[in-house]
Amino acid sequence: MKKGCFITIEGVEGVGKSTNIAAIESLLRAEGIPFISTREPGGTPLSEKIRALLLDKNETAMHDKAELLLVFAARAQHVEALIKPALEKGQWVICDRFTDSSFAYQGFGRQSDISLIERVEKLALGDFVPDITFLLDLPVEIGLARASKRGELDRFESEDLEFFNRVRDGFLIRAKADRTIIIDAGGSLAEIEKQIAIHIQARIKSWR
Ligand code: TYD
């Protein structure tokens, strides 16, 4: 059985991850590719409980190290209990955020030590990485303005502009990995979908 393809979608708040995930889902459905869709932090019952802790804005005393370890604890459970088994069964996995978000938010946003994050990544995941990552990139002000219309802000969304500018820079630095495709999320939706579809179609072709 051929293993599935692991796709992740990354970017700062409000860049349009959800809309583009829906577009990828429609494409895979139309092509008859078996897939599951999931998200981080979260994706399994235990990981969703950790997500609630991470996003709770009443958790004002969470230390950066505790935040980092919680993010990776949620991810270790998610990868072992859901993502790897699905890939082994030949299903594709679409994941809203993954480890790049930890480097961007915890590493660049919170300014935690990058080599510490690399060590935690190794401990939690070994060499497990996505096959393809779409980084939706947009000036932070535009994304945050969109995100703020969605209602009450969570613990991360309550951070300031400087934090999110560091996060965006972090994503762009991480995007040097071969697996990452940077998408200008400021373009028209049709154009963005078209660009993503070209890459997905190429993957489907080589996978079949
Ligand atoms: P998400 O549900 O994608 O929020 P939104 O839809 O508002 O973009 O992600 C939840 C938050 O968790 C988001 O603010 C980023 C943060 N996060 C981290 O700080 N580190 C991580 O490793 C992950 C996966 C998410």
> Residue 20 belongs to a domain with what CATH number?
3.40.50.300
Cα atoms found within 13 Å of the Cα of residue 175, Cβ hemisphere only: 17
pLDDT for residue 158 is more than 90: no
Q: How many domains does the chain have?
A: 1
pLDDT digits (tens, 9 = 90+) for 101-142: 999 999 999 999 999 999 999 999 999 999 999 999 999 999
How far apart (Å, rounded) are the C-alpha atoms in residues 106 and 43? Answer: 20
State the pTM of this model: 0.96
Q: How confident is the model at residue 152 (pLDDT cuts 50, 70, 90)?
A: confident
For a ligand 1 pocket test, name from 71, 77, 97, 100 the mutation site with the most ligand atoms within 8 angstroms of its C-beta.
97
- Is residue 1 in some structural domain? no
Of 147, 168, 169, 166, the closest CA to residue 158 belongs to 147
pLDDT for residue 196 is more than 90: yes
* 72 CA to centre of ligand 1 in angstroms: 13
- Is residue 83 in some structural domain? yes
Cβ of 97 closer than 6 Å to ligand 1, yes or no, is yes
For 95, the domain range is 6-207
* 134 CA to centre of ligand 1 in angstroms: 15
Mean of the per-residue pLDDT values of the chain: 96
Q: How confident is the model at residue 32 (pLDDT cuts 50, 70, 90)?
A: very high
- Is residue 16 in some structural domain? yes
Backbone angles phi, psi at 183, to 5 degrees: -115, 130
